[in-house]
Structure 1
């Protein structure tokens, strides 16, 4: 498989089983995040790895967070979150070590973390593993963030579920890039994707 084939065949999956990456594999995978664009060299990436017997404890913190940020969440959604966070082979909490006072705008710092996460997802796929990035209202819970080591002004950007894909990846058909691309010739552009 060529590098381009690898990138074009990547898809997110939460159908994951053991094994998760070994410590040495994980170090190499996380190293790809450090190759993300990093204006100002602020290195805002922070990762907390949760495995084994620590997963149910995290799941209970997730459920407590849901009670704070989604008090009307149906019982089925709560139980689904509890189950997923208790059983995924590996969970990586994505932290953003933000510097609000810095000349580099916060949005650029946040995008650096997002680019790093995408590099991790690509590296997982390239090494035979799989993953999915999950977020939602939980990322705005300062208590959960602090429990994970991301006290303000740091923030939580979500979680990566990591493991070995349980079966072939379902790779959904992607849109034609031409719909999202325009050539600028001195006037505002329009995009095919925006047409009714």
Structure 2
């Protein structure tokens, strides 16, 4: 068996670069297409492709923030202007954000949960693809991933749900690694 040392080392050192540390330059259209192609190479029982992507770039990022601001203002009238302004900035400063949506539906053989996991894998492969092409990526969900009105405003259709918003851009810093879970503490061996 051949060990892919470069891939192993990447996986052992993969690190999220959070959105505040992502900026221009954005991925080129060719890099974006390649990222989305890689994102689709995930386990997918039944070849259903139970996910889709929504790309927010350029002025669309500001428009998304404006919509979130308006929804939050109506939803939480007690919030001050400073708190509400945060909603305008969720898709900034990263030059591209990609919403990953689960399109899971009832299926006679493949549970919706399994389809949801496939969408989650597409989101994580998108993060790997961004890193492989030299960009930083930050997978987040926030209240608007779980709010029907906000999700619809951001492009989700009836029955769909966001599993991730992946912010992508050029990393402006390399963050220190954080403590990681101990795999031994999380692993048991079944013996019957």
| 8 Å CA contact 2:22, 2:93 repeated in 1 | no
Q: Map 1:77-156 onto structure 2 (within 5 A).
A: 77-156=83-162
Q: Which runs of 5+ in 2 are unaligned?
A: none
Measured after TM superposition, the shift of residue 114 of structure 1 is 0.4
Aligned partner of 2:51 in structure 1 is 45
Distance in 1 separating the partners of 2:77 and 2:44: 37
Measured after TM superposition, the shift of residue 48 of structure 1 is 1.0
Aligned partner of 1:12 in structure 2 is 16
Distance in 2 separating the partners of 1:170 and 1:70: 36
Measured after TM superposition, the shift of residue 148 of structure 1 is 3.3
* TM-score, normalisation: structure 2: 0.86
Aligned partner of 2:41 in structure 1 is 35
| 8 Å CA contact 1:69, 1:138 repeated in 2 | no
Residues 109-148 of structure 1, C-alpha deviations (whole Å, 9 max, x = no match): 1110001111111111121111111212211222232233
Aligned partner of 2:31 in structure 1 is 25
Count of aligned pairs between the two proteins: 186
* TM-score, normalisation: structure 1: 0.84
Distance 1:79 1:102, change over 3 A: farther
Q: In angstroms, what is the RMSD of aligned CA positions?
A: 2.1
Measured after TM superposition, the shift of residue 165 of structure 1 is 0.8
Aligned partner of 2:6 in structure 1 is 2
Q: Which runs of 5+ in 1 are unaligned?
A: 187-196
| 8 Å CA contact 2:25, 2:169 repeated in 1 | yes
Measured after TM superposition, the shift of residue 168 of structure 1 is 1.4
Measured after TM superposition, the shift of residue 47 of structure 1 is 0.8
Measured after TM superposition, the shift of residue 157 of structure 1 is 2.0
Structure 1, 49-58 or 71-80: larger mean CA deviation: 71-80
Structure 1, 106-115 or 85-94: larger mean CA deviation: 85-94
Measured after TM superposition, the shift of residue 70 of structure 1 is 5.5
| 8 Å CA contact 1:38, 1:109 repeated in 2 | yes
Distance 1:72 1:128, change over 3 A: farther
